[in-house]
Amino acid sequence: MDSLTQIVLGGAVAELVAGKKMGNKAIFWGAIAGTIPDLDVFLRAFYHPIDAALLHRGFSHSILFSIIFGPLLAWVFFHIYKKKYSFKCWLHLFFWGLITHPMLDMFTNYGTQFFWPLDTRITFNTVFVIDPLYTLPFLVCLVWAMFLKRDNPKRFKINLIGIVYSSCYLIWGVIVKLILLSQTQTVFSNEHISVNRSMVTPMPLTSFYWYTLGEDDSTYYVYYTSIFNGDEKKIERISKGNIRLENLKWKDINYSDKLNFMSNGYYILEQKNDTISYYDLRFGLTGKLTGEKVNKPVMGYQFITQNNVVHKAEQMNR
């Protein structure tokens, strides 16, 4: 999720486990803890663009990271504050502040390698990375709690309301996704389409509008669903083309397997002269976001080739 959301979650969880003893210090350091896993983005400059993308939400978003750095940070702050608050208090604050970050990110499209070093990325595809309906009510509850004294019973209750609301919102997304996923075969069958597999994920900034992607051996099929509109779905077709990752030749390291892992196999490649464009279809198309003025996949990379060998890769900017 976005940084603001992780700050709110980290602060709220810290308030829940340590607020009665530490007051607003718990919220402050919990908010810091909630942002720490995303600091891996600063390492991108030292990595190949594809390795950098895989690095994000890897080790720093794993349970192992929280197990190591939760106690370590607790020990450091226990001594910085000259043992004013117990080690156990700091441990709960940092462990839960760290681990709830990747737990929330599991619900997004990109997911996390929560059980790193295992290369399985856990993703539920039930909330977009920025969703005001998740974040803003949660933020209001946390800010409201901050202005109450730490021993005020209302402070705990208001913060808890924010946590319960945000959790219910995530459950809502899971329920909607399961319902829509159960309908995909019917929607495709009505158009005489037989897909090998399909996925459903929310569109940007909302849990009320969803993107469905299915595939067979040669084609991807896309349609959109509003939970307020049960009309017949218009299915778009995207050809897989003749180029696949396993056919690419690389000058140095072969990144085909990593790109396939990153996209979970939902991708297309387009070649124009010496440039090959790789598009990750899991993140949707820009058509619905631009009024159909531009209808390209949202996320991708460009590969510069020489004599049909990939020499350079760079992320597309949209």
Tell me what pLDDT residue 284 has: 79
User: Given the structure tokens 């209302």, which residue do they identify?
Assistant: 154
Higher pLDDT, 196 or 306: 196
Cis peptide before 204 (omega within 30 of 0): no
Residue 291 has pLDDT above 60, yes or no: no
Hey, is 181 helix, strand or coil? helix
- Which DSSP symbol is given to 51? H
User: Given the structure tokens 């037989």, which residue do they identify?
Assistant: 194
Tell me what pLDDT residue 44 has: 80
Instruction: Give 295's pLDDT tier (boundaries 50, 70, 90).
Output: low
What is the CA 220 to chain-centroid distance, rounded? 23
Average per-residue pLDDT for the chain: 91
pLDDT digits (tens, 9 = 90+) for 7-64: 999 999 999 999 999 999 999 999 999 999 999 888 888 888 888 888 888 999 999 9
Beta carbons within 8 Å of 229's beta carbon, 6+ residues apart: none
Q: Are 36 and 119 in contact (CB under 8 A)?
A: no
Residue 286 has pLDDT above 80, yes or no: no
Q: What is the CA radius of gyration of the chain?
A: 22
pLDDT digits (tens, 9 = 90+) for 111-150: 999 999 998 999 999 999 999 999 999 999 999 999 999 9
pTM of the model as a whole: 0.90
Taking the CB of residue 265, how many other CB atoms lie within 10 A of it? 13
Taking the CB of residue 223, how many other CB atoms lie within 10 A of it? 18
Tell me what pLDDT residue 315 has: 77
Hey, is 226 helix, strand or coil? strand
- Which DSSP symbol is given to 122? B
Instruction: Give 294's pLDDT tier (boundaries 50, 70, 90).
Output: very low
Report CA-CA distances (Å) from 157 to 24, 79, 142, 268, 280.
15, 31, 11, 49, 43
Terminal alpha carbon distance of the chain: 19
- Which DSSP symbol is given to 104? H
Tell me what pLDDT residue 127 has: 96
Taking the CB of residue 302, how many other CB atoms lie within 10 A of it? 17
**Interior angle at CA 91, CA 90 and CA 94, nearest 5:** 80
